Structure 1
Amino acid sequence: MASLLSSVRAGLRTGLPVECRSFVTSATQPATWTHKSLRTGVIARKKGMTAMWDEWGVRIPVTVLQLEQCQVVQVLNEETHGYTALQIGSTDRTPKNVTMPMLGHFAKAGVEPKRKLVEFEVTPDAVLPVGTELVASHFVPGQFVDCSAPTMGKGFQGAMKRHGFGGQPATHGTSLTHRSLGSTGQRKDPGKVFKGKKMAGRMGGEQATVQSLKVMKIDNDLNLIYVKGAVPGVDDQFVKVRDAIKKRGDKIAPADVLPLPFPTIQPEAVKAMPRELVAKTGGSDPYVMQE
């Protein structure tokens, strides 16, 4: 077991395995973004909320998402898996806390063990080589993204908090049942409570997606993505971020930033960029009365 563990750890340091090199050579050919192209998403960590002010002084609430060692771990192709997707990993993990099968999986890809793995379905022209690192500039300011994460867990809650019921009357003889959900069934017929009835139970902790959030700012030095509005989950939660599914074609981003970086941003381009990229709001001053 010790020799196997040492060989796996040695594989993590040697880089990309031999069986992947031929794929990398073919996958690095230049590709062109089209309206039908489906890029990969990224795994970010929610760092909390703050606010921005646009050029007119309007306050915009934003959620800060940070990318940590986000890399391509595996390529799933149509021939072997029936669909085309990329397995993305995020946040390096100590090898001693990883199981042997997963150590072998990461060693085959030539990347450090990751805390979180997520598959993103892509089109064949958006496939990236194994080991490619994804950074915040994979997205552009002004474009729209979808953010998915488990919601905050609330534990066991009553029907009023869980489903928004109005409760029982506050007067006219109501005693100790003000927050009760009331009747749950009928009389002798059917004589049961139907499945799916809204009742007290476990609340939160379910996968949720907030669609079409606007990217307000990109920080290239800290790998931060500022998105307008709220994102599901608690702070430090892993969040899946990808191009908005309902904003296809030219609607996904302003015309001056299209086409999107495809299949992802090049490292040389990131080095030439300024640290912060801020989305333009445009329009007229909202504080000036129009005649």
Structure 2
Amino acid sequence: MKGIIGKKVGMTSIFDEMGRNVACTVIEAGPCVITQVKTDDTDNYNAIQLAYGEQKEKKTSKQLLGHFGAAGTTPKAEVVEFRDMVADKALGDTVTVGDVFAEGDLLAAVGTSKGKGFQGVVKRHGFAGVNDATHGQHNRQRAPGSIGAASYPAKVFKGMRMAGRDGGSRVTVKGLKVLRIFPDRNLILVKGAVPGPKGGTVILQK
């Protein structure tokens, strides 16, 4: 599994070869620094650890300072390990978006969705609501309705779809197509939407 770490810039649209206007997400992917190389001999599996984004030294623990120092780089904000990624570069080398992806590739984007706070069942689970304000339903339009409990089972089953915190969770979107790559600006244009807000960290996996 190859991949790279990036930051969501925003959304735009471009015209494809058929003249259709296609919505896409702009991601600033890399450059990332290789901070650790794992092999079968040392760790019983192959992986590469990449680091992205600058971070102040005072916000970094001493253990991580030594870890980044061994790779000869400054403290980084994000560290992600990509398993089964064979190292064709050495510790401390830089990985760019052009090293991992090409136009036309399919990838998976991993990000943290926007937090929406405490939401009701209509917004959180797509319930239709009562939708009928007559016959005494004056304040039940967005209510969840019955949750099925009676003398048996005398409890609410786990997993019942009810109101609660929505968003702010790890989301993976697969099958996104790479439309354009601008290696000189470390930008990649991906067809469709990518989870997370502008400026949020995104992991791109091949």
Q: What is the TM-score with the length of structure 1 in the denominator?
A: 0.67
How far off its partner does 1:217 sit?
A: 0.5
Unaligned stretches of 5+ residues in structure 1: 1-37, 244-291
Query: Which residue, out of 188, 199, 204, partners 1:236?
Result: 199
1:104 partner SS: helix
Whole-Å separation in 2 of the counterparts to 1:82 and 1:192: 47
Name the residue aligned to 1:137.
Answer: 98
Whether contact under 8 Å (1:185, 1:191) holds in the other structure is no
- After TM superposition, list the pairs within 5 Å mapping 1:71-90 onto structure 2: 71-90=33-52
Name the residue aligned to 1:164.
Answer: 126
Query: Residues 126, 80 of structure 1: CA spacing in aligned structure 2 closer, same or farther, 3 A cutoff?
Result: closer
Whole-Å separation in 2 of the counterparts to 1:73 and 1:193: 48
Whole-Å separation in 2 of the counterparts to 1:95 and 1:79: 32
How far off its partner does 1:169 sit?
A: 4.1
Aligned length: 204
Whole-Å separation in 1 of the counterparts to 2:181 and 2:114: 26
Give 1:177's aligned amino acid.
R
> Would you tell me which structure has more helix in proportion to its own residues?
1
Whether contact under 8 Å (1:70, 1:88) holds in the other structure is yes
> Would you tell me which structure has more strand in proportion to its own residues?
2
Name the residue aligned to 2:24.
Answer: 62
How far off its partner does 1:127 sit?
A: 5.4
Runs of 4+ in 1 over 4 A off after TM superposition: none
2:184 partner SS: coil
Name the residue aligned to 2:146.
Answer: 183
Which structure has the larger Rg? 1
Q: Percent identity?
A: 41
Unaligned stretches of 5+ residues in structure 2: none
Name the residue aligned to 1:195.
Answer: 158
Whether contact under 8 Å (2:121, 2:163) holds in the other structure is yes
Alpha-carbon RMSD across the aligned residues, in angstroms, is 1.5
How far off its partner does 1:105 sit?
A: 1.0
Give 1:106's aligned amino acid.
F
Higher relative contact order (CA 8 A, sep 6+): 2
How far off its partner does 1:56 sit?
A: 3.2
Q: What is the TM-score with the length of structure 2 in the denominator?
A: 0.93
